[in-house]
Structure 1
């Protein structure tokens, strides 16, 4: 995924060295993909006594785990009552309990392991830009309060005070959430996973998976070969043809971000308490402050890679609409990444053959969801008990007419952008 222009993010890489190596002999587990899901699973599987080899096509943080907005949001896209309706009482409550604790899992891991990751846990705001969106916030607040979550509704004055932005009708505040340096987090996960005993191979893509008796044979671009009893394909939005129908079960989009120059001290009214924000528009806008005081602002973008800085102009316009006081504040960095969506806006677990496992679809909850999911996936891979899983294992179902997804996504984005513009 090469851009025609140089791109760089604001996120700092830790200085801790990584020790890359390859395991020899038969393995318990091969993990394909060194993002949050893959590395968290490798860490917890290695600590459970499994021999683990991680294979990554690029470098640590080259995919979505290193270029996202760093928002750690608990829960899922759907609220508790919808989850109960979809999965029934027992499975629904297990999923609610798991998703409610995903941010806890991340911040507890950072504290317990002493990870070199800038982080702030001041909460997440879902900002309502219309009265209809505000009514949805009322329902979300009611449902999560019934689950005992530390959440609240914000009126127009409160949300203006917490964000410094103009035009919101109110919003939903989830105090369980926070922000991290996403690139530092994935690097630190790689460090502690290798220290726990997981082997790590970088810049060498897995190119084939073959079942041989009770083992899986995994071959790579460079000609390496690994035998493992189980395989986790943790490639998410970067899934290509390795597993039939996996890529065709997902719709991937580009998420673009910009960062201003460090804001001057008299702009301390912009996100003064350090919350992350996502708004209620159909094409979501999201923003936060970085550790060095920049405003980091992101949103959806075309599926093609950017060709010039003009491809980020829609974000600059949106940012200056919400924060007109920024005026001619310079945009110093621009970057982008790929994210995966599912048609029902739910994460999916698949096991198309015995010992071949995968999870995909984050819907904006990727950091908390995938880091926490790594813990339960490791337990399932080690013990084989489905009771450890918060989601049912479902069949891989390709999206109809998937080859035309670019046209469909482009049409949806254009239509949603028009509707969002009319609602301002």
Structure 2
């Protein structure tokens, strides 16, 4: 995992509007648990919650604190499914996996309801919008495949898109009423409180620097000399994965997702812009996504550079997208600009690894981590409690990407090519 000193703090609208998180100790001394979890994001926290509720002793260790990474900096869009259509998922994994994937948003809202998490949950649906006529047939196929599986979905024409978004330029899209939104940092802190209440222990300022076999289990060493022994270990570090396990970091591309939030909209604007509080992402290869955020602010996000942004000029593409879809937003100041790292995989799928007995890893949510990580963490916890409970995705081998150290160069070139293809399509 990266050291806390190397993770650059970027102020976000979430941090500015979040309730105080749980008061947690920094790790010190020697500890033991049935299961050790490295990383206190959505995956780690939901795994801990499931395990603790099942009677296991659990310790979660995070380099900084719960929700500090992408789990507390993302767009808060709760989107079911994956990038692949249901028929394709059936062929790849079977209908059980497709059903799991389709139910991931349900898991988030059930956790919020069950544990009374105060995170502004709104189930206003997720809209996949298109500015390209060429994309509409594929969107209709995707919608129809989910509808055939019982999902509450519908196509939207240009007029419906204008009414539902208040934006310009959309030629159509589809809405999935299973989706919605949360305040992601408050959601992460709420999961931490729920895990603590169930009996888990969580440590902050706990940078894991070694993971070795010991006494039939595993020993974890921390940068300050603290130690932790456990029979099982779950590594849940996603876009902030470091060199703790050989080759794991090189299986994903840690891409910056950058976002902006305007000053609060007035009452008239809030009545016209996303009136049902749906969340939206567009269908281009390099997509933008937007929603109404805390205090009635209009938020826009998208793919950033592979270096951390240093100033407002690094957000010029997102600013332009915001003003393109919502010309009236030009008169609104941008109050917040921030970034977080998402983990992208070559096959656009999350990966579950078990490279050694007693070690489980999950990462690579490709921008859909709120719902998928929450559901997958619970499934991992259930599997570790009872191995007869199957994991929802097939295990994969750790396969580092060739010349991974050059990923900022080749991934940037790939993104540039995708932008050109997006531009050329009608």
Flag whether TM exceeds 0.5 (same fold): yes
Change (3 A) 1:25 1:261: closer
Of 22-31 and 328-337, more deviation after overlay is shown by 22-31
Of 161-170 and 393-402, more deviation after overlay is shown by 393-402
Change (3 A) 1:10 1:214: closer
Of 213-222 and 63-72, more deviation after overlay is shown by 213-222
Separation (CA, whole Å) in 2 of partners of 1:264 and 1:10: 20
Q: Deviations over 1:357-376 (max 9, x none)?
A: 00111122201111111211
Separation (CA, whole Å) in 2 of partners of 1:420 and 1:319: 17
Q: Deviations over 1:366-409 (max 9, x none)?
A: 01111111211111111222x42101111111112222211111
User: Contact 1:18–1:190 at 8 Å: present in 2 too?
Assistant: no
User: Contact 1:251–1:342 at 8 Å: present in 2 too?
Assistant: yes
Gaps of at least 5 residues in structure 2 are 1-5
Alignment map for 1:375-394 (pairs within 5 Å): 375-385=378-388, 387-394=389-396
1:127 aligns with 2:129: yes
Choose from 354, 358, 374 the match for 1:355.
Answer: 358
SS class of match (1:399): coil
- The residue that corresponds to 1:402 in the other structure is 404
- The residue that corresponds to 1:316 in the other structure is 319
User: Contact 1:2–1:305 at 8 Å: present in 2 too?
Assistant: no
Alignment map for 1:183-262 (pairs within 5 Å): 183-262=185-264
Change (3 A) 1:336 1:21: closer
1:154 aligns with 2:156: yes
How far did residue 418 of structure 1 move? 2.9
SS class of match (1:273): coil
Choose from 286, 289, 295 the match for 1:286.
Answer: 289
Separation (CA, whole Å) in 1 of partners of 2:257 and 2:265: 23
How far did residue 10 of structure 1 move? 3.9
Change (3 A) 1:24 1:195: farther
Alignment map for 1:22-33 (pairs within 5 Å): 26-33=32-39
- The residue that corresponds to 2:3 in the other structure is none
TM-score by length of 2: 0.95
User: Contact 2:22–2:192 at 8 Å: present in 1 too?
Assistant: no
Gaps of at least 5 residues in structure 1 are none
Q: Deviations over 1:123-164 (max 9, x none)?
A: 000001112211111110111011111111001100111011
1:73 aligns with 2:79: yes
How far did residue 21 of structure 1 move? 7.2
Aligned residues, how many? 418
How far did residue 423 of structure 1 move? 4.2
CA-based RMSD = 1.6
- The residue that corresponds to 1:415 in the other structure is 417
Q: Deviations over 1:78-134 (max 9, x none)?
A: 1111112222xxxx1111111111111110111111111111101000001112211
SS class of match (2:19): coil
How far did residue 60 of structure 1 move? 2.1
- The residue that corresponds to 1:330 in the other structure is 333
How far did residue 266 of structure 1 move? 2.0
SS class of match (1:252): strand
Separation (CA, whole Å) in 1 of partners of 2:314 and 2:158: 32
1:18 aligns with 2:20: no
User: Contact 2:62–2:205 at 8 Å: present in 1 too?
Assistant: yes
- The residue that corresponds to 1:346 in the other structure is 349
Change (3 A) 1:156 1:276: same
SS class of match (1:292): helix
User: Contact 2:78–2:180 at 8 Å: present in 1 too?
Assistant: yes
1:59 aligns with 2:61: no
Separation (CA, whole Å) in 2 of partners of 1:165 and 1:412: 29
Separation (CA, whole Å) in 2 of partners of 1:162 and 1:269: 8
